[in-house]
Amino acid sequence: MKNKYMNPYVAGTMLGIVLLLAMFLAGRGLGASGGFKYCVVSIVGAVDHSHADKSIYYSKYFEGGKKPLKNWLTIEILGVIAGGFLSGAISKRLKFKIEKSPSISNTRRLIFAFLGGVFFVYGAQLARGCTSGAALSGMAVLSVAGFVTMVAIFGSAYLFAWFFRKNWV
């Protein structure tokens, strides 16, 4: 029998303390989508360096010999994976599986998971942060950007929920 999840208010308090620690120790909030960006920037830099140098987008991440993989956010998301694994191990939730509603096929679940990733991270680059970096961390420092992004993400997900209901309920 797997262990139950933590009470949401207790887990939320723990998450809030981690966020507060990030603010106190590093003067910044939490992030996730930024780490995705630095991974891609590094891959593109390694595969086709001249393309990266010519691009107005990539070039700024290599200025002055900077290494995008040795970046705060890249290391932080490695930590997220380690922390998630640790928690899963303690609560006996480590298991390879495709989680989905019984009424859809594995293929359908994976196609939508892929598309979801594409949309989410594309939008996060545009908004300069995702649920972590823009919405949660932004709200914690009272930034208007944080509140607006939060309302836009949740509002849009509610709006689109009807179209994708077959995948979930």
Partner 1 sequence: MGPISSLIPMPEWLDLLIALLIGIGFGFSLEQAGFSSSRKLAGMFYGYDTTVIKVFFTAAIVALVGSQFLSYFGLLNLNLVFVNEFYVAASIVGGIIMGAGFIMGGFCPGTGLCALSIGKIDAMIFFLGGLTGAFLFAETYPFIQKLANGSYKGPVKINEVMGISPGLFTFLLIIAAAAMFWLAEIAEKRFARPDITNEI
- The Cα–Cα gap between 70 and 38 comes to 9
Rounded least distance, CB 45 to partner 1, Å:
11
How far, in Å, CA of 61 to CA of 142, rounded? 28
Which of 49, 53, 155, 166 is in the footprint of partner 1 by CB under 8 A?
A: 155
- Of 18, 46, 49, 66, the one binding partner 1 by CB under 8 A: 18
Figure out which of the listed residues 48, 53, 154, 166 binds partner 1, where binding follows CB under 8 A.
154
| Dihedral sign computed on CA atoms, order 131, 134, 140, 144 | negative
- DSSP state letter for 104: S
Cα separation, 88 vs 71, in Å, equals 26
User: Distances in Å between the alpha carbon of 66 and those of 12, 26, 47, 59?
Assistant: 35, 20, 16, 10
Q: Which of 24, 50, 63, 65 binds partner 1 (CB under 8 A)?
A: 24
Positions in 116-145 near partner 1 (CB under 8 A) = 116-145
156 touching partner 1, by CB under 8 A = yes
| List 1, 50, 64, 158, residue binding partner 1 (CB under 8 A) | 158
Q: Per CB under 8 A, does 168 bind partner 1?
A: yes
How would you classify residue 66: left for phi > 0, otherwise alpha for psi between -120 and 50, otherwise beta?
A: beta
Residues 43-102 that bind partner 1 (CB under 8 A): 43-44, 55-58, 70, 72-73, 75-88, 91, 93-101
Residue 32 binding partner 1, by CB under 8 A:
yes
Tell the smallest beta-carbon distance from residue 23 to partner 1 (Å).
Answer: 5
Please count the residues of this chain forming the interface with partner 1, following the rule CB under 8 A.
123
Question: Whose CA is closest to 156, among 128, 116, 125?
Answer: 116
Residue reference for tokens 């910044």: 28
